[in-house]
Structure 1
Amino acid sequence: MIKKIIKAFKKPRLAILYVLGFKSFRIIPDSLYLKIKYRLIIGKKLNLKKAQTFNEKLQWLKLYDRNPLYTKLVDKYEVRKHIAETIGEEHLIPLLGIYDSFEEINFDDLPNQFVLKPNHTSGDIYICKDKSKINYVELKKKVDSWLKRNYYWIHREWPYKNIKPRIICEKYMVDESGMELKDYKFMCFNGEVKCLFVCLNRNSQEGLNVDFYDMGWNPMPFERHYKRSGKLISKPKTFDKMVHFSKILSRNIPFVRVDFYEVNGHLYFGELTFYPGSGFEEFTPEKYDYILGSWLKLPSDKIR
């Protein structure tokens, strides 16, 4: 914690971002908070009245497209029922348990390998590859910290605000590499899939790579925050099914990202994401922020 504070205060921008995370600043209205954060991270004024870029429009959607269904769809446990009803239960990663506290987890009943994650945040995960190596004291601290978080306050992504915090345990799975699961993430605009990106090398020393592809599986010439891998990834066998399901799951939603995995030729659902990177990830070259923004049509009945 001390190192984070020192690092933050060496750079004024980071210092302000750090201070904004304090509970006392929760009184700041969402619109003002997002304008401040956008300026600090993107380096530009957030134009909500005439939003043009993809990142700007994601901020607009946070504020004005508040469909109550979204809370269920971002809840990693509750969304499972929606997926079972729309594309089929066979596309869900097997669930091993659901818990309200760390103390409820019976590790003796779990397999040697499994995955723990909270249902109400983004990016938090614990992957167990060998149960005999678990540090239960540290794991309890991690799980308890998850349960205390309200993810809404970080980026003002309102669907997360009223989710009941729980811990999910799922089957540990890897793809043909035997090392990881590649994420296939489809960018959907009101039921139309316009492009996708693949996340890979997440656990490598070099860090995460993100490769964008068009719908013909041709690499797209831009990056969004993360570096490209520099490799042409093979198109998944279930690609056409992924596209079909993405259309179904994104119908009548201005924008949503639909995530899938492929394991031994079988398609598994990952999650639904309404605000990738929370609308705070830069494009290189920048013109693609405008290109993707042109694909996102804001609901006319909610234009302010």
Structure 2
Amino acid sequence: MDDLDEAIVELLQRNGRLTHGEIATAVGLSRSAAAARTQRLLGSGQVEVRGVVHPAVVGRGSLAYVALLVRGPAATVAERVARRDDVPLVSLTTGRHAVVAEVRARSALDVDRAVGELRRLDGVQSIDTLSYVEVVRDVIGPVGEVTYDVDDVDLALLRALQDDGRASYVDLGALVGLSAAGARRRVLRLLDEQVVRVGAVVRQSGGDRQAAMGLGLRLDGGHERVIAELGAMSTVTFVARTLGRFDILVTMRAHTTAPLTASLEKVRALPGVNEVESWTHLSVVKESYAAIGLGTVADPAP
């Protein structure tokens, strides 16, 4: 991808339903040129635009991050962890814990049960668990509390957006028996209520693989200012407040290591940050998203 491609992907990561005209205006291209680039990116299979439904809506409202200390090779352990429907993310990492994963379950008891089962896997020596207090920023998933009650029409629209986040309102309306205008009103309401977020998912491969780094922060005071500073960093793709050995969990991504190094130094210098532990994500074994009635919607990342 060149600089213009990366700019288009960044726009689609923030709002996957931007029109070709809106993309063209933002990146300084003609509408036809922006449309051609966007379609090429989507047609390559490297970039997908998906609707990601809030975990609470699909009955996965309890979240935890687990770091596995393993005996022997870690890849086999990671593959076993990735087979679980309640684990949407598995990564091989540097540092003491060779495998990290995220558990999304119906309740804290279900998370506890899952962690117990992971401990019993061959090759797992021990597990360090962080419980999420609040997800402040997700890669493309919606965050915050959800109070909106969805009906059958909403569910049908959400399923369609999970398959194709850029589906036209005409097609969405035809699917659920509404006019294009009616489908548009429904979709905008679901977006406004944080039931779903539509954004680009980048499938990392070859020379376009992004460098990714995880950070665990320990604070010496309140979290508000630190969270605000993290939210202003373009390299930061995930932020959660946690209970356990870290107060804040962060993921940063960039196309080269230089921006990650600069961001790491900036985080270390933030007032209120007492200690920073970092690790590199060497290989994403699985990265998927909760789907209505299906468990996961995305295939494991290559």
Range class of TM-score, shorter chain:
under 0.3
TM superposition score normalised by structure 1: 0.28
Which structure dedicates a bigger proportion of its chain to strand? Answer: 2
Q: Higher relative CO (CA 8 A, sep ≥ 6), structure 1 or 2?
A: 2
